[in-house]
Amino acid sequence: MIVFRLLHADKQAGLNEAFNKMAPSVVLEKGRLRRKKQTFKKLGSSQLDRICCIVCFRSDDSCVSVQIMVTDIWRSYFAQKLLHMIGENIAFYPVNAIQIRNAHNYLSDFESERDVYLKTEKIVEFLDQWDCSHEDISECAVLLAEEFSKRDFWGVADAKLVRDWIFDLRSIGYQFPPRTNETDYFIMEQVRGANCRRADVEFDTEKEDTMIEKSAEKLRMFGELTDWCAKANFSDFLRKLPSPPQLATSHAKNQVLVNLQKSVLVITGNYPWNRTIGLLQRMYQPYFGLTIFCGSWFPEKYDDSNENFPRMLHPFNYIHLTEAEMNKGYAAYYCMSKVKDLRLGNVLGYYVMADDSTFNFWHGINPFLVMHPSGDLHRNSGVWWKEPVGMRAALLANKLFTEVYKYDALVQAIWHQFGRGLREKNPKVTNASKNLTTADGWSVSDMYYIPANGLDYHAGLMEVFFEAGLFHEIAIAKYLHSVPYLR
Same domain, residue pair 303 and 388: no
Residue 7 domain-assigned (yes or no) = no
Residue 191 domain-assigned (yes or no) = no
Last residue of a domain, one of 364, 396, 426: 364
Residue 272 domain-assigned (yes or no) = yes
How far is Cα 95 from Cα 91, in angstroms, rounded to an integer? Answer: 12
**Residue 146 neighbours by CB under 8 Å, 6+ apart:** 159, 163
User: What pLDDT score does 172 carry?
Assistant: 93
CA distances from 64 to 110, 142, 144, 158, 413 (A): 20, 16, 17, 6, 50
Question: Quick one: DSSP state of residue 452?
Answer: G
Q: Which amino acid is at 242?
A: P
Same domain, residue pair 332 and 425: no
Residue 183 domain-assigned (yes or no) = no
Same domain, residue pair 215 and 356: yes
* Burial class, 98, CB count within 10 angstroms (exposed 0-12 / middle 13-18 / buried 19+): exposed
Helix (H) or strand (E) holding 295: strand 290-295
- What are the b/e assignments for 274-307, b being 16+ CB within 10 Å? ebbbbbbbbbbbbbbbbbbbbbbbeeeebeeeee
Same domain, residue pair 348 and 431: no
User: What pLDDT score does 374 carry?
Assistant: 86
3-state secondary structure of 353: strand
User: What pLDDT score does 240 carry?
Assistant: 66
Last residue of a domain, one of 329, 364, 399: 364
Residue 40 domain-assigned (yes or no) = no
Last residue of a domain, one of 319, 342, 364: 364
User: What pLDDT score does 15 carry?
Assistant: 56
How many CA atoms are closer than 13 Å to the CA of 441, on its beta-carbon side?
16
Residue 25 domain-assigned (yes or no) = yes
CA distances from 289 to 19, 261, 348, 366 (A): 13, 4, 10, 17
Same domain, residue pair 277 and 348: yes
Angle ∠(482,410,183) on CA atoms, nearest 5: 135
Same domain, residue pair 357 and 392: no
Same domain, residue pair 435 and 353: no
- The alpha carbon of residue 21 and the mean position of all alpha carbons in its chain are separated, in whole angstroms, by 12
CA nearest 338: which of 259, 266, 445, 414? 266
**Regions of the chain with pLDDT less than 50:** 1-3, 32-36, 41-62, 64-65
- Total structural domains in the chain? 3
User: What pLDDT score does 2 carry?
Assistant: 45
Which residue range(s) make up the domain with 437? 368-486
How far is Cα 77 from Cα 42, in angstroms, rounded to an integer? Answer: 7
Same domain, residue pair 326 and 230: yes
Residue 194 domain-assigned (yes or no) = no
User: What pLDDT score does 33 carry?
Assistant: 33
Same domain, residue pair 155 and 233: no
Residue 198 domain-assigned (yes or no) = no
Q: Which amino acid is at 419?
A: G
How far is Cα 79 from Cα 440, in angstroms, rounded to an integer? Answer: 57
Same domain, residue pair 347 and 432: no
Same domain, residue pair 94 and 151: yes
Same domain, residue pair 352 and 372: no
